[in-house]
Homo-oligomer: A and B are copies of this chain.
Amino acid sequence: MMRSQLTIDDRLNAFCKDTDAYLEGVAGGPLSGLTFAAKDIFDVVGYVTGGGNPDWKATHEAATRTAWVVSVLVAAGATMVGKTITDEITRGIFGENAHYGTPLNPRAPGRVPGGSSSGSASAVAGELVDFALGSDTGGSVRVPSSFCGLYGLRPTHGRIPLDGILLQAPSYDTIGWFARDADLFARVGSVLLQREIRAVRPRSLVIAEDAFGVADQAVQDALRPAVDRIASLIGHCTTARLAPARLSDWSSQQQILQGREAWETARDWIDRVNPRFSFEVAERYRFASAISDAEVEAARVSRQAIIKRMTVVLADGVVVCLPTTPTPAPLQGERLSTRDVLRPRMSTLTCIAGTTGIPQINLPLAEVHGLPVGLSLLAARDSDEMLIAFARELVDTLKR
């Protein structure tokens, strides 16, 4: 159960201090008795959706409807206890918000929680709620899952309706969620995906050698036992490179396509309002505004090649495993130039699901010097239920 608001604020800085959105869950539902929080990009009727930016909040009206996912969860019995801090307009991956502060990472003190669904991950990891809603455009559920040691899913693009959320780049935007244990994660997933989560074991595991190569050696070593357990459970395992050439070349097309779309989505508001952003966020919009049509065309070609390649790799019930992030959570307050070195490594790993629209689940199965770092599984489109069920089965197997 949720602790008092003051304690929450003091301990984790996870919740929006000025939006006390509360929706009592319907009695008798499958999620009754559970509490959740939602990133402050989900509309709740009567509240202004703040999007992590004070000028967004000041220039928008209170929502006139509640986001579809929130309504579905409340109807299923879960009680929403508040909105959580997000990176500005979801444009960040580290979870530091220059306006509202950085939610604490309960699993890695002094380090960032990851973003942009920073407050949601923080609140779940700090046991302030049972689960929380986030969104993932370029890694915003997967990264905080890895940094905070949580289960988290980027679902198949299009599986969960985006109605009633603040969009960043709709061709990439997805809604995901966080939980501390695989069973609860699956129960929430069943409601959000509106499908039973049945055990369907993957046919084969592919260890993405080049994706592991992006991670620190310590992360590779820490993930190895989990990879071995998964391989043994599935019974068939191979090692392969995902990219015919270099995996690090894969992320630039998403920077361009997602960037262009994010700019097209926000530009009129930016032009009208001249909003305050952290320099980092402004810089990324500025980069995006300068993308040429020729760059977009070239990026589309690259994207198609990656989709084609991943379709082949993931055919016939294959799951691919890879590190979710190349490192555990970095320290809070590092220099922008330090972030600029790490960011491309992170997006090399996150771009695979982002580009292709396939689902990716983070499994919180490892630590490096006590800091969480996650292992991810990728599967073909609409294999969300399989990934969730397999995560649950993996834990059951470990318990036995």
Chain B residues whose CB sits within 8 angstroms of the CB of A274 once the complex forms:
96, 98, 278-280, 336
| Docked pose: A283 CA to B274 CA in angstroms | 10
Decide if A278 touches B275 in the complex (CB within 8 Å): yes
| Docked pose: A96 CA to B272 CA in angstroms | 14
Q: Which of B96, B277, B335, B337 contacts A279 (CB 8 A)?
A: B277
| Docked pose: A286 CA to B277 CA in angstroms | 13
Chain B residues whose CB sits within 8 angstroms of the CB of A57 once the complex forms:
none
Chain A 244-288, CB within 8 Å of chain B: the 1/0 string? 000000000000000000000000001110111111101101110
Decide if B99 touches A271 in the complex (CB within 8 Å): no
Chain B residues whose CB sits within 8 angstroms of the CB of A283 once the complex forms:
282, 286
CB distance from A332 to the nearest CB of B (A): 11
Chain B residues whose CB sits within 8 angstroms of the CB of A271 once the complex forms:
335-337
Decide if B282 touches A99 in the complex (CB within 8 Å): no
Considering the complex, give the chain B residue whose CB is closest to the CB of A96.
B274
CB distance from A19 to the nearest CB of B (A): 20
Give how many A residues have a beta carbon under 8 Å from the other chain's beta carbons: 22
Tell me how many chains of this kind the complex includes: 2
CB distance from A88 to the nearest CB of B (A): 10
| Docked pose: A98 CA to B278 CA in angstroms | 13
Mark out the residues of chain A between 3 and 62 whose CB falls within 8 Å of any chain B CB in the assembled complex. 55
- Given the known interface contacts A282-B283, A286-B282, the answer about A335 and B272 at a Cβ–Cβ threshold of 8 Å is yes
Chain B residues whose CB sits within 8 angstroms of the CB of A336 once the complex forms:
270-272, 274
| Docked pose: A283 CA to B336 CA in angstroms | 16
Mark out the residues of chain A between 60 and 100 whose CB falls within 8 Å of any chain B CB in the assembled complex. 96, 98-99
Chain B residues whose CB sits within 8 angstroms of the CB of A96 once the complex forms:
274
| Docked pose: A371 CA to B276 CA in angstroms | 30
| Docked pose: A277 CA to B282 CA in angstroms | 8
**A positions within 8 Å CB-CB of B:** 55, 96, 98-99, 270-272, 274-280, 282-283, 285-287, 335-337
- By Cβ-Cβ distance, the 9 closest A-B pairs, closest first, are A282-B282, A286-B286, A271-B336, A98-B276, A271-B335, A276-B276, A274-B278, A271-B337, A274-B280
| Inter-chain pairs besides A270-B279, A270-B336, A276-B279, 17 sampled, C-beta below 8 Å | A55-B98, A96-B274, A98-B275, A98-B276, A99-B276, A271-B336, A271-B337, A272-B335, A272-B336, A274-B278, A274-B279, A275-B279, A276-B276, A279-B285, A282-B282, A283-B286, A286-B286
